[in-house]
Amino acid sequence: MRGFVPVLLGLALASQGLVAQVPTPASTPKPAACIFCRIVAGQAPSKKVYEDSHVLAFWDIQPRAKVHLLVIPKQHVASLKELDDLSVEARAALLSACVKVAKDQGILDKGFRVITNAGKDANQSVFHLHFHVVGGEQLREDAITKDPAPQP
Ligand code: 5GP
Ligand code: ZN
């Protein structure tokens, strides 16, 4: 019974508008519906290349370079905007994993690119933080553009 008191108090305050309601953006899925959370949970397939307690790395389903991997935190956060919701250990593990998978793919020395799209202007399409690790061939000099890539 005692456990209900804070809940009821919270509901009462919320109904009076006294507790800020944090809206969930329509574009941010709940983890249960998030495709990358489903991959982490083993409920959806992936071509996994690396895993530790904080991080999973796997091939992008539509590779746009000879090597195109995604490095994600196992904990659901929507984008880099929510980075502070991850532990310091998870944040460090994410960057280390980007370097590790690049090394494992043999692209560390010739060069590789790490990209994260955060939000609408950046064309983020999956709202679970991920770093694209791309390389294995000469990349376009300037990928920071609103223009479509030139056709070969
Ligand atoms: P964003 O546009 O959000 O930066 O990148 C999302 C990436 O996730 C895209 O490159 C897309 O191809 C990839 N992607 C989307 N759904 C899946 C999936 O189910 N499996 C894998 N491996 N990659 C996915
Ligand atoms: Zn997720």
Q: In this predicted model, what pLDDT tens digit does every residue of 8-52 receive, in sequence order? A: 333 333 333 333 333 444 446 667 899 999 999 999 999 999 999
**Ligand 1: distance of its center to the CA of 62 in Å?**
7
Nearest CA to ligand 1 atom 18: 61
Domains of the chain: which residue ranges?
47-140
The tokens describing 45, both together, are 């397939």
- The single residue of 54, 76, 128, 130 carrying the catalytic annotation is 130
Question: Do residues 76 and 28 touch, judged by C-beta distance below 8 A?
Answer: no
Q: What is 47-140's CATH topology?
A: HIT family, subunit A (3.30.428)
> Relative to the alpha carbon of 46, which ligand is closest?
1
pLDDT at 135: 97
Task: Tell me, yes or no, if the pTM score tops 0.85.
Answer: no
pLDDT at 118: 98
